[in-house]
Amino acid sequence: MKRIMITGALGQIGTELVLKCREIYGTENVLATDIREPEADSPIKEGPFEILDVTDIERMKEIVSEFKPDAMMHMAALLSATAEKNPQLAWNINMGGLVNALETAREYDLQFFTPSSIGAFGPTTPKKDTPALTIQRPTSMYGVNKVSGELLCEYYHTKFGVDTRSVRFPGLISYVKEPGGGTTDYAVEIYFEAVRKGEYTSFIDKGTYMDMMFMDDAIDAIIKLMEAPEDELKHRCAFNLSGMSFEPEEIAASIQKHIPDFKLSYDVDPVRQGIADSWPDAIDTSCSRDEWGFAPKYDLDKMTEAMLNGVREKEAAAQK
């Protein structure tokens, strides 16, 4: 992987993925694309950027033909809560965009990555130590998209020989970009509100465990998987990832080690709570660790310290 095109580059993952890849592979070797222009002060603007609607396959192929990447990281998608509000739009973007990206990767012989999610699991999936290969009967449109995407990537590998790779991300936590419509967003919002107000009202109920990961670990995992030897990958489109599993009271307790007066209350959103209840409590990541050396660095307390420091710096910069 030497020259990379990234779709959905202005999203929660894409923003940090572009910057990390440019740091490793060189700014001019990483093309960021999205459906809208970056903001004026965005560091994304410091390197190659193209407008791309992923449902437009002809434009996608045109960009690939001009940039000549050897790898595509397809990050463009609607997230879980947003997808549930507009299922047809979610299908058109999440699945239509993925088919276009896979077909482009096939035609131009690109190594290919796209993320799946713990949303690919459902209420009949084993709740604890959820294996990589298990029952997947999701009850949300986002989950249906992700299961379909995993199978489609496997199909393009077995049918056409495309080097497809994917991971099932848990909730991803970052201070760089605020969340945009996911069920796990509370675990990001809580840090911003802890710094801004000293309190937070969670839309996820107490006792609801979900897998989570700090964004730095997630970005490192994508790059490590893409650099892994192809012949060592057995679960290529179904790698579970997680850095930790916690419920709202635990993240609040971690914050209170730094902000003792922080208060947590609840106003549960039935849609997002229903999605969360259908997901596992804690997944098994042994295949990822064994096949390509997945090794997250952050636990809850280490992540809390990084998040609070990052949010404070961001808030201070915004006030200047």
Please list the active-site residues. 142
Q: Which residues neighbour 174 within 8 Å (Cβ) at sequence distance 6 or greater?
A: 12, 16, 188, 214, 215
Per the CB < 8 A criterion, the answer to whether 54 and 76 are in contact is yes
Find out whether 232 and 292 touch, Cβ atoms under 8 Å.
yes
116 token code pair: 């799946």
Can you tell me the distance from the alpha carbon of 51 to that of 7, in angstroms, rounded to the nearest whole number? 10
Q: What is the distance in angstroms between the CA of the first residue and the CA of the last residue of the chain? A: 40
Torsion of CA 96, 157, 143, 180, to 10 degrees: -60
User: By three-state DSSP, how is residue 184 classified?
Assistant: helix
Helical spans, DSSP H, in 140-260:
141-160, 186-196, 215-227, 248-256
Name, in order, each residue with C-beta under 8 angstroms of 88's C-beta and a sequence gap of 6 or more. none
What is the C-alpha to C-alpha distance for residues 280 and 47, in angstroms, rounded to an integer? 39
Cα separations in angstroms, 138 against 35, 152, 211: 28, 16, 16
Alpha-carbon gap, residue 266 to 281, rounded angstroms: 20
